[in-house]
Amino acid sequence: MIRNIIFDFGNVLFDLDLAAFEREMKALAGERFGAGKAKLLQERVFELYETGGLSTAEFAEKIALELGCTPAQVVDAWNAIFIGMPSARFEMLLRLRQQYKVFLLSNINDLHERWIADYMLREHGLSDYESRHFDGVYFSHLIRLRKPTREAFEYVLADAEILPEQTVFFDDLLENVEAATQVGIQGIWHEPGTEIGERLLKMKFLNAQ
């Protein structure tokens, strides 16, 4: 019996244009982009930022240095990925919480966490979206673990005191779904651009109103 639902955030609950950052940085960096991106990946700059190993200032400065732009331009490009979260998904989460424990597990960094908090207040009037819609929220830069590592899922299971065999996990990346499956969670791939609420209705996690 499923008693717990864990959601990824980006492109499951919150719509993103993940290619926007690279488009913006290519426009700024020009011919420097290819070599700069390769060096940043080699130094694991993005992974380190997502797990709290770099401060926001350090992150923006490293990218600015490699790509020949300013830290402020990096921040604007980094936040260009966001589209929005429809109000119907908030209602969906509240309905789910009547039957299940609902959690959020996201590879997310400090800048994006702050951008989303501002968006939630500005667009939806929510200053408490985390506590209102989830039983627990796990952001990689705070727990210092990221998907698809086994440790990230084990951390959530232990902290939330839930059993893997009673838990389902939705993510838009297959590697994360497979990692969840390895620890005994029922992992389900969510296709970006499709509506998660409709998927939950078809799977009988939600009842039609």
Residue 207 falls inside a structural domain: no
pTM of the model: 0.95
34 and 130 fall within a common domain: no
Q: How far apart are CA 79 and CA 49, in angstroms?
A: 14
168, 188 Cβ separation under 8 angstroms: yes
Q: Of 30, 54, 81, which one is at a domain's C-terminal end?
A: 81
* Closest listed residue to residue 76, CA positions, set 24, 16, 23, 148: 24
- CATH of residue 8: 3.40.50.1000
124 and 110 fall within a common domain: yes
Q: How far apart are CA 173 and CA 170, in angstroms?
A: 9
Ordered per-residue pLDDT tens for the chain, 209 residues: 999 999 999 999 999 999 999 999 999 999 999 999 999 999 999 999 999 999 999 999 999 999 999 999 999 999 999 999 999 999 999 999 999 999 999 999 999 999 999 999 999 999 999 999 999 999 999 999 999 999 999 999 999 999 999 999 999 999 999 999 999 999 999 999 899 999 999 999 988 76
Cα-based distances in Å from 86 to 51, 115, 123, 124, 141: 28, 16, 10, 9, 25
Sign for the CA dihedral angle at 194, 142, 58, 40 comes to negative
10 and 107 fall within a common domain: yes
State how many domains the chain has: 2
H runs (alpha helix) in 70-124: 71-78, 87-96, 110-124
Instruction: Compute how many other C-beta atoms are within 10 angstroms of the C-beta atom of residue 120.
Output: 20
61 and 98 fall within a common domain: no
Give the structural domain span for 26.
Answer: 20-81
159 and 134 fall within a common domain: yes
101 and 52 fall within a common domain: no
Q: What residues contact 123, with CB distance under 8 A and at least 6 apart?
A: 84
